[in-house]
Homo-oligomer: A and B are copies of this chain.
Amino acid sequence: MSDSLVPETRVLAVASHVAYGHVGNTMATFVMQSLGCEVAALNTVNFSNHTGYRQFKGTRATAQEISDIYQGLCLSNLTDFDVMLSGYAPSAAAVEAVGAIGIDLQQRAEKKPGSFFWVLDPVMGDQGRLYVNDDVVPAYKKIIHHADLILPNQFEAEVLSGIKITSLATLAEAITAIHRIYSVPHVIITSVQLFKLSTSGSTPSPPDNFLTVIGSTTKSNGSPRLFRVDIPALDCFFSGTGDMFAALTVARLREAVDAAGDDLRNTRSWVSPDDVPSSKLPLAQSTIKVLSSMHSVLERTVEARDAELAKNIPTQNGDVNPEEKQKREHLRRTKAAEVRLVRNTRFLRDPPSQFEVQEWNKEDLPAHLQ
């Protein structure tokens, strides 16, 4: 492929739009386009900036508006998507509308197994807290069994599985439960803090120096094939990294499945034969490239953030009250931490090979973690 592009892929991306910065579709669209994917962005909200700034202006799309845009695509025969990536939807009705789109695209592809693949990021909350209305949870639970791959974070995996993740063993149980309850063939749990798990689960601990990503593709009997990738943690909170992970995964999974050959490409949900070990799964191979790209871009982001914060030290704060001063400082720090995407696309296109995937079986765990 010229320009380090992945195989031609048409993606319907359903997520939020922000004018400033990179989250939701404003992250995912450019990331997938940079790798050569043709992306149709169906925006579920239209905000000035991401909510990490703690203030924003703009509007949320209604379920009807989301359905209307899709209907417009149907009317003009513009539904030839290979992949749908669905992220944040602003209400339970909007989640249902997105679900109806995924199901419709799936039905259109019914006669050609493997010709359509749905990656669903069940955006509901993080760090033990829901940030959507309560009724969004059952709405997701209804549609997830149609998805091919879901990308919950640790908290969302707990909500979906009903299992509190306090150890590697319960993590494995949660993934097994997600495969079983929702018949979803591929799962990745993004950024699990194993250090927190391996000590007491409830007390706050300092950030460890690495994060772990755990994924699995089912075997034909429904049992998981688990793999893990450990990556050094960066000392910064970035908005939009979940969307970056999802977008890169769309492109890299498509590439890995294509490399595996016609048989897999024409298999429903791209599920590898049982004799493929977890570390050789397209999902695992994709994940190491995804994390490598992300780590490189985020390292550059930390450098740029530090340079920006050192350069733009506020000077005229003498006459403002402490609350206003604190607010301005928060805005300044949030802006400085925006992911430096557009000038680092070389790391998206050509990830340095720096991480390794490990097969991971429950039996391999040290006894005290089981």
Task: Determine whether the beta carbon of B58 is less than 8 Å from that of A78.
Answer: no
A343 and B5 contacting across the interface, CB-CB below 8 Å: yes
Interchain CA distance A40-B341 in the complex, whole Å: 13
Select A41's contact among B26, B58, B75, beta carbons within 8 Å: B26
With A and B bound together, what is the CA distance between A69 and B5 in angstroms?
Answer: 34
Given contacts A33-B341, A77-B335, 5 further A-B contacts (CB under 8 A): A3-B345, A26-B41, A48-B68, A49-B76, A77-B332
Task: Kindly list chain B residues whose C-beta atoms are within 8 Å of the C-beta of A346.
Answer: 2-3
Q: Which residues of B contact A355 (CB under 8 A)?
A: none
Closest B residue, CB atoms, query A22: B38
Mark out the residues of chain A between 198 and 223 whose CB falls within 8 Å of any chain B CB in the assembled complex. Answer: none
Central interface residue in A42, A46, A346, by most chain B CB within 10 Å = A46
Which interface residue of A20, A49, A343 has the most chain B CB atoms within 10 A?
A: A20
Question: Would B48 and A69 count as touching, CB distance under 8 A?
Answer: yes
A128 shortest CB reach to chain B, Å: 27
Whether A8 contacts B335 by the Cβ 8 Å rule is no
Q: Is the CB of A306 closer than 8 A to any CB of chain B?
A: no
Taken together, the copies of this chain in the complex come to: 2
Bound state CA distance, A78 and B49, in angstroms? Answer: 9
Residues of B within 8 A of A29 (CB): 30
Give Cα A47–Cα B73 distance, bound, in whole angstroms: 10
Contact with B along A23-41 (1 / 0, CB 8 A): 0001001100110111111
Cα separation A26 to B42 with both chains bound (whole Å): 11
Instruction: Report A21 CB to chain B, min CB distance, Å.
Output: 8
In the complex, what's the smallest C-beta–C-beta distance from A249 to chain B, in angstroms?
Answer: 18
* Residue ranges of A at the interface with B (Cβ–Cβ < 8 Å): 2-3, 5, 8, 12, 17, 19-21, 26, 29-30, 33-34, 36-43, 46-49, 53, 55-59, 65, 68-73, 75-78, 328, 331-332, 334-335, 341-343, 345-346
Please give me the 10 A-B residue pairs with the lowest Cβ-Cβ distance, nearest first. A48-B72, A57-B72, A20-B78, A57-B68, A19-B40, A20-B40, A33-B342, A48-B69, A53-B76, A19-B42
Q: In the bound complex, how far is the Cα of B19 from the Cα of A38, in angstroms?
A: 11
Taking a contact as CB atoms under 8 Å apart, the answer to whether A65 and B69 are in contact is no
Q: How far is the CA of A252 from the CA of B46 in the complex (A)?
A: 29
Query: What chain B residues lie within 8 Å of A71 (beta carbons)?
Result: 48, 57
Q: A34 to chain B: which residues have CB within 8 Å?
A: 34, 345
Bound together, the chains give a CA A36 to CA B55 distance in angstroms of 28
Listed by A's residue number, 14 A-B pairs whose Cβ atoms lie within 8 Å are A3-B343, A3-B345, A19-B40, A30-B30, A43-B46, A46-B65, A48-B78, A53-B76, A57-B72, A58-B68, A59-B65, A76-B331, A76-B334, A77-B335
The answer to whether B72 and A36 have CB atoms under 8 Å apart is no
Known A-B contacts A30-B33, A33-B342; the reply to A58 vs B69 at CB < 8 A is: yes
Name A70's closest neighbour in chain B (CB-CB): B48
A345 CB contacts on chain B under 8 angstroms: 3, 34
**B19 touching A41 by the CB < 8 A rule?**
yes
Q: B77 contacts A331, CB within 8 Å?
A: yes
Check B58–A75 contact: CB distance below 8 A.
no
